[in-house]
């Protein structure tokens, strides 16, 4: 997530910088810095922003059904374990596309292309 996307999401949510600061538990100055590109957006803030965008129910069904995960992958997946198949993108340690991604940004590149999230973007 870069400054432009952060700003677009804030506007899509119809929130002021002050509103976003409250929602994210950061200062207004931090939100301003994210939008200007002066400060990189921490992963925990990105995760909260994506949560606000992707909240709610989806018609897609749980991720393991949508992408057809084999039983052995489901058995090791925290999204399956915690029955969070529509919030799989929120959970670290999922083995999407057969591997666990090392960083949140790496994971979100995969998640944003996944059918589980396509109807929410």
pLDDT at 103: 82
Structure confidence at residue 68 as a pLDDT band (50, 70, 90): confident
Residues 10-42 have pLDDT tens digits of 998 899 999 999 989 999 999 999 999 999 999
Burial 70-107 (b: 16+ CB within 10 A, else e): eeebbeebebbeeebbbbbbbbeebbbeeeebeebeeb
Domain ranges of the chain: 3-54, 63-118
Task: Kindly report, residue by residue over 85-118, the tens digit of the pLDDT.
Answer: 878 888 888 878 778 887 888 888 888 888 777 6
Decide if pLDDT at 56 tops 70: no
pLDDT at res. 119: 58
Please tell us whether the domain made up of 3-54 is placed in CATH 2.60.120.380: no
Structure tokens at 98: 């057969």
């Amino acid at each position: 997530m870069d400054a432009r996307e952060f700003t677009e999401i804030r506007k899509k949510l119809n929130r002021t910088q002050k509103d976003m600061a409250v929602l994210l538990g950061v200062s207004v100055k931090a939100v301003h810095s994210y939008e200007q590109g002066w400060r990189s957006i921490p992963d925990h803030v990105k995760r909260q922003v994506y949560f606000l965008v992707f909240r709610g129910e989806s018609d897609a069904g749980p991720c393991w059904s949508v992408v057809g995960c084999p039983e052995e992958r489901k058995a090791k997946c925290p999204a399956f374990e915690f029955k969070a198949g529509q919030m799989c993108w929120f959970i670290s340690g999922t083995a999407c596309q057969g591997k666990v991604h090392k960083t949140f940004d790496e994971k979100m590149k995969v998640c944003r292309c996944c059918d589980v999230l396509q109807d929410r973007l």
